[in-house]
Chains A and B, each alone.
Chain A
Amino acid sequence: MAREDVLVTAEWAEENLDAPGVVFVEVDEDTTAYDTGHIKGAVKLNWRDDLRDPVRHDIVNQEQFSELLSERGISNDDTVILYGGNNNWFAAYAYWYFKLYGHKNVKLLDGGRKKWELDARPFTTEIPKRERTQYVAKPQDAAIRAYREEVVEAIGSSNLIDVRSPDEYAGRLLAPAHLPQEQSQRGGHVPTALSIPWSKAANEDGTFKSNDELRKLYVDEAGLDEDKPTIAYCRIGERSSHSWFALRELLGYENVKNYDGSWTEYGSLIGVPIALGDEPGSK
């Protein structure tokens, strides 16, 4: 897969803001950023309200996703360009979502909001009006979503990649006492998981590193086995979507899954193995 099939530059984006059949979508955890200024014509998706089931601890299902995109005025035939804050974490998560539900043409804006701001490109507060559509999501593509059983089976046999910060990996950090967050019960990492923080895949302006740099990072430095399947995880599955994107969409490894349950699920399971400290540990 060529880079331009999955990633667009800010230059391309600015030239195609009004292109027919192209929909820009800003994805964030909170939409304060969108409300204070977004790329012209972009609709918003809120990770918290739109991309999580309101009751079950899960992503939204096929019908809910169809309704969400219909309501936002996105068609099955549209080319969707996703971008957001946090170095595109939530945009990458949404990309994984669009792929999971079989959307044909979806790309990430390289660098997201940050690169757009650093380039001093314009933001607007104007809210676009889009007509409702009849979006039909496909059934979930099981090839890119990992469940907890697969993660346990992958210990010592497949590539497991933990993309959280080194302190989270080691179990030194779970949740800072002064800031509330949802917590898994235990700290640490899945035994044999390689620690490759998401940030190493990105340049400081938020764009992805080159394929040569990415291959060096994952294979030469971290020791990813290119002949084995790979599962990426973090805490809630959004940072790991970023690394999943680098591995599957940019480097082109076919068997790469995102474990969206990630540490909030794994660290709460009864009886599964956990490794502490900076080393991957053994089976």
Chain B
Amino acid sequence: MAVDANTALSGAGCGAPEQDTALPASVDLEKETVLTGTVVNDEGDVVQGAYVRLLDGSGEFTAEVVTGEGGQFRFFAAPGKWTLRALSRFGDATGELEAARGLNETKLAVSR
């Protein structure tokens, strides 16, 4: 079961939760599958304000978040094959990921 980060957030709304580095204390990594990582540019600098989309195994859109300070993004998903797509003013990047339960970290290097 994929969890759409855009529909799952604090308060009443639909926006993506803040993308900071610390995982909320309530997240149980024995149960959750967390996809997290950093967006960097050509020079290796982290990119704030990049749009990262999570696409499922069939390439369908699942969720999208905006990277915060430190270029971090995070999704709550399920074990399996995922595609991460980063769009930014410095260019784009695509990454494939085979996620397992727990923390799955990756880096996306965007370029034109």
Q: Given that A85-B66, A176-B76, A204-B85 are contacting pairs, would A181 and B3 also be in contact in the complex, using a CB cutoff of 8 Å?
A: no
A179: which B residues are within 8 A, CB to CB?
8-10, 17, 76
Contact with A along B1-28 (1 / 0, CB 8 A): 1111011111111111110000010111
* Chain A residue at smallest Cβ distance from B91: A118
Q: Which of A47, A87, A89, A199 has the most CB of B within 10 A?
A: A199
B12 contacts A181, C-beta separation under 8 Å: yes
What is the interface of chain A mostly: helix, strand, loop, or mixed? loop
User: How many A-B pairs fall under 8 Å by CB?
Assistant: 95
Q: Would you give the shortest CB distance from B44 to chain A, in whole angstroms?
A: 19
- Measured in the bound complex, the distance between the Cα atoms of B76 and A205 in whole Å is 22
B76 contacts A172, C-beta separation under 8 Å: no
B9: which A residues are within 8 A, CB to CB?
179, 181
Q: Does A216 contact B (CB under 8 A)?
A: no
Question: Which of A47, A117, A167, A181 sits near B10, CB closer than 8 Å?
Answer: A181
A44: which B residues are within 8 A, CB to CB?
none
Q: How many B residues, CB 8 Å from partner?
A: 35
Contact with B along A47-88 (1 / 0, CB 8 A): 110001000000000000000000000000000000001110
A205: which B residues are within 8 A, CB to CB?
87
- Measured in the bound complex, the distance between the Cα atoms of B53 and A159 in whole Å is 30
B32: which A residues are within 8 A, CB to CB?
178
B8: which A residues are within 8 A, CB to CB?
175-176, 179, 181
Q: Given that A114-B51, A119-B89, A178-B32 are contacting pairs, would A235 and B15 also be in contact in the complex, using a CB cutoff of 8 Å?
A: no
Q: Would you give the shortest CB distance from A118 to chain B, in whole angstroms?
A: 6
Question: Which of B4, B60, B88 sits near A173, CB closer than 8 Å?
Answer: B4
A204 contacts B87, C-beta separation under 8 Å: yes
What is the interface of chain B mostly: helix, strand, loop, or mixed? loop
A118 contacts B3, C-beta separation under 8 Å: no
* Chain B residue at smallest Cβ distance from A264: B12
Contact with B along A170-204 (1 / 0, CB 8 A): 00110110111110000000000000010110001
A182 contacts B12, C-beta separation under 8 Å: yes
- Measured in the bound complex, the distance between the Cα atoms of B1 and A167 in whole Å is 7
B14 contacts A86, C-beta separation under 8 Å: yes
A236 contacts B13, C-beta separation under 8 Å: yes
Question: Which of A33, A86, A180, A200 sits near B6, CB closer than 8 Å?
Answer: A86
Question: Which of B28, B60, B66, B85 sits near A178, CB closer than 8 Å?
Answer: B28
Mark A residues whose CB is within 8 Å of B. Answer: 28-30, 32-33, 47-48, 52, 85-87, 89-90, 114, 117-120, 164-168, 172-173, 175-176, 178-182, 197, 199-200, 204-205, 235-236, 238-239
The 11 listed contacts between A and B (C-beta, < 8 Å) are A86-B16, A118-B87, A168-B4, A168-B7, A176-B3, A176-B76, A181-B8, A181-B10, A181-B11, A204-B85, A236-B14
Smallest CB-CB A-B distances: 8 pairs: A29-B15, A199-B61, A120-B89, A29-B13, A179-B8, A176-B8, A176-B3, A165-B4
